[in-house]
Amino acid sequence: MITSVDKKTGVFRRLRRTFIAGLLAALPLALTLAAIVWLAELIHRFLGPGSAFGKLLGSFGLRFVTSEMVAYLIGLLVTLLLIYVLGVLVEAGMKSHWQSLIDNILNRVPLVRTVYNALNKVIRMFELQDQSEIKSMSAVMCHFGSKEGGTAVLALLTSPEPIHLNGLDYYAIMIPTAPVPFGGAILYVPVEWVEPSDMGFDGLLNIYMSMGVTSPDYLHKQPSKDSSVT
pLDDT in tens, 87-135: 888 778 777 787 788 888 888 888 788 878 777 766 766 554 445 555 5
Distance CA 72, CA 60 (A): 8
* The pLDDT value given to residue 18: 84
Q: What angle do CA 197, 212, 21 make, to 5 degrees?
A: 80
Distance CA 159, CA 161 (A): 5
Distance CA 90, CA 99 (A): 10
What's the pLDDT tens digit per position in 136-181?
678 899 988 777 778 899 998 988 889 999 899 999 999 988 766 6
Average pLDDT across the chain, whole number: 75
The H or E element spanning position 124 is helix 110-125
Distance CA 99, CA 28 (A): 10
Q: What angle do CA 96, 106, 44 make, to 5 degrees?
A: 140
Distance CA 190, CA 172 (A): 9
Could you tell me the residue ranges of all domains in the chain? 4-125, 137-218
Whether this prediction's pTM lies above 0.85 is answered by no
CATH number at 137-218:
2.30.30
Tally of residues, the chain:
230
